[in-house]
A and B are shown apart, each in its own frame.
Chain A
Amino acid sequence: MACVESLEKLSLLDVSEPSVIKPFIQQSPLKETVTAAKIDGVHTDIVITEFVNRIFIVLTQRQSFSSLLLVSKDGPKTFEGKAEDIYTVKSIFGVDSEQSGNLVARFLSEHTCMNKPALFALGLKDHSPRTVRALRDIINQHKSW
């Protein structure tokens, strides 16, 4: 009898058993949008997910990420009041010397009024101002903040 009991205890500790993993159905607290658009005829996938501390944005025309960029905003205060916001773009993956991605992330952060730091996953073929303005309009249409 004692042996059976100890076996039961042992099986409770074995976390690799599928019985420990219970499906848990509850509405996701994340606000997310997965959409796509043809921008000047080029298929562009857009994913916007708002986490508690960061906004994650995927903009890709290549079905992959060629760069990952972190954008943060600082609102410095001066004696005269609040000065203009300062945006800091940090490349965490991809070609650092390619400035076009940094410009896209910087422009979109400002013109979509992001209220928290953002992580951009970019895979754009076209970085022209026309395309970036279209991306701004799409984000503004689908954003949750």
Chain B
Amino acid sequence: MEVATIEYCEPKVLGHGFSFKACEQAILVKAYKLDKGLFLWIGSLSQPVLEDLALSMSTPYGQDPLQTKLLGDVLNMSSMNLGARLSKKLDKPVYVSFNISMDKLSLPAIEAGIVEEMKKFPLQF
């Protein structure tokens, strides 16, 4: 069985993780930055699951980014809304996985936490 040669090197994908408390919920965020995209996972620190995913990307055909839900409940628009804003800001496709059952109060707090981290570490996003 032929196997290709493997030579380990420095990864081009940047992995960044951080956690914060928003409205008494411990939130964990993972970001994987690629040259042509960003994967952002948002979940609870106590139960980190991956059950939701949406893709947003800007196109030259309209002002608003295109969005599509890839995984999870179609009625839960949090990942699409957040992804649309991020893809517009970063000008690249953004995959957002939003895995928290939240209420009206915690969603803006979670978004503010992510934006704060993006301002602190812009190169990681």
Contact = CB atoms under 8 A, between A and B. Distances in A.
Interface residues of B, number: 55
Contacts of A54: 49-51
Interface in B14-49: 14-15, 17-23, 26-28, 30, 32, 34-37, 39, 41, 43, 45-49
Contacts of A16: 108-109, 112
Interface stretch (B3-11, B59-67, B75-83): B3-11
Given A15-B106, A20-B23, A28-B19, A38 B49 contact: no
Contacts of A86: none
Interface string A102-135: 0000000000000000010100000011110110
Contact of B4 (A20, A47, A92, A131): A131
A60 B26 contact: no
B3 A133 contact: yes
A53 B49 contact: yes
Contact of B2 (A20, A26, A130): A130
Contact of B36 (A37, A51, A64): A64
B13 A58 contact: yes
Nearest to B27: A24
B4 A134 contact: yes
Interface string A44-86: 0111010111101010101111001010000000000000000
Interface of A: 13, 15-16, 18, 20-26, 28-30, 32, 34-41, 43, 45-47, 49, 51-54, 56, 58, 60, 62-65, 68, 70, 92-93, 119, 121, 128-131, 133-134, 137-138
